Amino acid sequence: MFECITERFDLDPARTLMVGDRLETDILFGHRCGLTTVLTLTGVSQLEEAQAYMASGQPDLVPDYYVDSIADLIAGLED
């Protein structure tokens, strides 16, 4: 799926963020596609879950970054 998107829109995975609220779907997908991942904590998954995945040796389920809300991400991109 992501290959189709990158070809159609000429995206560079190294310059693309996968933002999501679920570790087991959004963050995993991002890592498998070579994207930088951001977990927003206003959704389903919580930071404690990511920490548990890291402790159990499952780094593909751990985001590169996290934000309390999507508004925080937008503010950070503007800086």
CA distance 23 to 76: 21
Amino acid 32: pLDDT = 94
Q: Say how far residue 34 (Cα) sits from the centre of its chain.
A: 10
In the sheet that holds 36-40, the strands lie side by side as 17-20, 36-40, 65-67
Pick the CATH number of 16-71 from 3.10.129.10, 3.30.365.10, 3.40.50.1000, 3.90.180.10: 3.40.50.1000
Count of all residues that appear for the chain in the document: 79
CA distance 34 to 52: 22
Amino acid 42: pLDDT = 92
Instruction: Write out the two tokens for 56.
Output: 């159990």
Q: Where are the domains of the chain?
A: 16-71
- Could you list the pLDDT tens digit for every one of the 79 residues in the chain? 888 888 899 989 899 999 999 999 999 999 999 999 999 999 999 999 999 999 999 999 999 999 999 898 888 777 6
